[in-house]
Amino acid sequence: SDYKEDPPRHPALVVNSKEPFNAEPHRLALVSSYVTPVDFFYKRNHGPVPIVDDIGKYSVSITGLIQNPKELYMKDIRKLPKYNVTATLQCAGNRRTAMSKTRKVRGVGWDISAIGNAVWGGAKLADVLHLIGIPKFSNITPSGGKHVEFVSIDKCKEENGGPYKSSIPLSQATNTEADVILAYEMNGETLNRDHGYPLRVIVPGVIGARSVKWLDSINIIAEECQGFFTQKDYKMFPPSVNWDNIDWSTRRPQMDFPVQSAICSLEEVNTIKPGKINIKGYAVSGGGRGIERVDVSIDCGKTWVEASRYQKTGIPYFSDDESSDKWAWVFFEAEADIPESTEIVAKAVDITGNVQPENVEVIWNLRGILNTSWHRVQVQIGQ
């Protein structure tokens, strides 16, 4: 099969699906470094990893509702100012396995590690679009373009063998502050094949599905992308909607990620000796909204203590600190004395006061996306 050409992967990854390849790191590995090493960064593919072997010939075509369509080669993109944006990427399906426990959902099963934080190096999309004559901070082009569609090189069954694609609003694409990047580097190294070599989009603060890998073309279009992943997937439906009564047109494609947190220093069920334990995990919100607070409970959510927060080790994180990484997760940590078997819970609050929902039931949806419910782990006292 085409999967024979897929790149080698780190053996420590938990593989949720082999073909296409979907894998995540173990919980503890995830919080062992603020910038996730490439090898341990979750991999979410919808088809075989495409091969681009002649980088000199590789180009991105920019077409659609613009005056002068253009082919941009790697050298053209590298000529633009280079930015390094530290941004957390999270799959909308992160924590899906737990959502499936209340009622079955459809999709790849993920524990809590379909998320990672990387330094993405590349050109700003706003600069690329400026190069072809679209001013910064545009809402519409003279010919009526309002959305920017990213089309990949890969082929997936959801698109009947066609390429993966999705779109974002032109206003976001041309907003230099939104930091949308065409990345050719990840953590200071050339982007690897699994993560989109030679060029991928990074849309900070938005569900991973919009950050199209293996970029082939950029189309300026009037309506949002009509492809599968924008119209027939990655939409959040109410718990009443099932596969018999679903009407995809009634919901908008998910963009910003809601506030999320998870405990990574413990498994779902743990056996520990009575005494002190370290509760450590990540918290992140969408749209560049910082994390205001992380609350931790060691009595199933009856009482709470505030955890400490940091991005760089040893430096406390404050959501209004100019020097913090706006698009990146924060780690939280709390020490607790556990005398008896209990449930440990974490919930985060972002700067606008959004809080994670208490139960998964109230946000259950048939595609199993956006499980941002309070993260709960069980500890049992034993030997």
For 66, residues 6+ apart whose C-beta sits below 8 A from its C-beta are 132, 133, 134, 141, 143, 145, 220
Going by DSSP bridges, is the β-strand pair 215-221/59-64 parallel, antiparallel, or unpaired?
A: parallel
Neighbours of 198 (CB within 10 A): 18
Using CB under 5 A, count the residues that bind Mo ion. 4
Beta bridge partners of 380: 271
- Residue 344 binds to ligand MTE (criterion: CB under 6 A): no
CA–CA separation, 43 vs 176, rounded Å? 28
When the beta carbons of 24 and 325 are compared against ligand MTE, the nearer one is: 24
Q: Which is nearer to ligand MTE, 209 or 294 (CB)?
A: 209
96 binds ligand MTE (CB under 6 A): no
C-alpha distances out from residue 97 to 262, 343, 346, Å: 14, 19, 18
Q: Interface mask (CB under 6 A) for ligand MTE, residues 156-195, using x and -?
A: --------x------------------------------x
Does 203 bind Mo ion (CB under 5 A)? Our answer is: no
Q: How many CB atoms lie within 10 A of CB 277?
A: 19
Containing 59, the helix (H) or strand (E) segment is strand 59-64
Member of 27, 46, 293, 347 binding ligand MTE (CB under 6 A)? 46
* Least distance to ligand MTE, CB of residue 42, Å: 5
Q: Give yes or no for residue 290 binding Mo ion (CB under 5 A).
A: no
CA 12, CA 213: separation in Å to the nearest integer?
23
How far is the CA of 33 from the CAs of 99, 266, 317, in angstroms?
27, 16, 16
Q: How far is the CB of 23 from ligand MTE (least distance, A)?
A: 9
Of 38 and 330, which CB lies nearer to ligand MTE in the complex structure?
A: 38
- 367 contacts ligand MTE (rule: CB under 6 A): no
368 contacts 239 by C-beta, under 8 angstroms: no
234 vs 317, beta carbon nearer ligand MTE: 234
Regarding 290 and contact with ligand MTE (CB under 6 A), the answer is no
Rounded to the nearest angstrom, the gap between the alpha carbon of residue 268 and the centroid of all alpha carbons in its chain is 22
How near is the Cβ of 208 to Mo ion at its closest, in Å?
4
Q: How far is the CB of 26 from ligand MTE (least distance, A)?
A: 16
Among residues 89 and 180, whose Cβ is nearest to Mo ion? 89
Candidate residues 108, 129, 202, 209; the one interacting with ligand MTE per rule CB under 6 A: 209
Q: Does 363 bind Mo ion (CB under 5 A)?
A: no
The verdict on 110 binding ligand MTE (CB under 6 A) reads: no
- Indicate which single residue of 24, 27, 29, 43 sits in contact with ligand MTE (rule: CB under 6 A): 43
Nearest residue to Mo ion, using CB? 91
Q: Does 95 bind ligand MTE (CB under 6 A)?
A: no
8 Å CB contact between 45 and 22: yes
What residues from 88 to 117 belong to the interface with Mo ion (CB under 5 A)?
A: 91
**d(Cα 370, Cα 203) in Å, to the nearest integer?**
17
Phi, psi of 279 (to 5 degrees): -110, 115
Q: Is 286 in the site for Mo ion (CB under 5 A)?
A: no
Q: Give bridge partners of residue 293 from the DSSP assignment.
A: 349
Give the integer Cα–Cα distance in Å for 311 and 5: 37
3-state secondary structure of 327: strand
Measured CA to CA, the distance from residue 164 to residue 182 in angstroms comes to: 16
Q: Is 208 in the site for Mo ion (CB under 5 A)?
A: yes
Query: Which of ligand MTE, Mo ion, none binds 195 (CB below 5-8 Å, type-dependent)?
Result: ligand MTE
CA end-to-end distance (rounded Å), the chain: 48
Subset of 44-83 contacting Mo ion (CB under 5 A) = 44
Dihedrals phi, psi of 287, to nearest 5 degrees: 60, 20
* Contact flag: residue 42 with ligand MTE (CB under 6 A): yes
Taking the least distance from each CB to ligand MTE, the nearer of 195 and 235 is 195
**Among the residue ranges 36-44, 73-81, 240-248, 276-284, the one whose residues contact ligand MTE (CB under 6 A):** 36-44
Q: Which residue has the CB atom at the shortest distance from ligand MTE?
A: 208
DSSP H helix total and E strand total for the chain: 6, 22
Cβ proximity to ligand MTE: between 233 and 295 the closer is 233
Interface residue list for Mo ion (CB under 5 A): 44, 91, 208-209
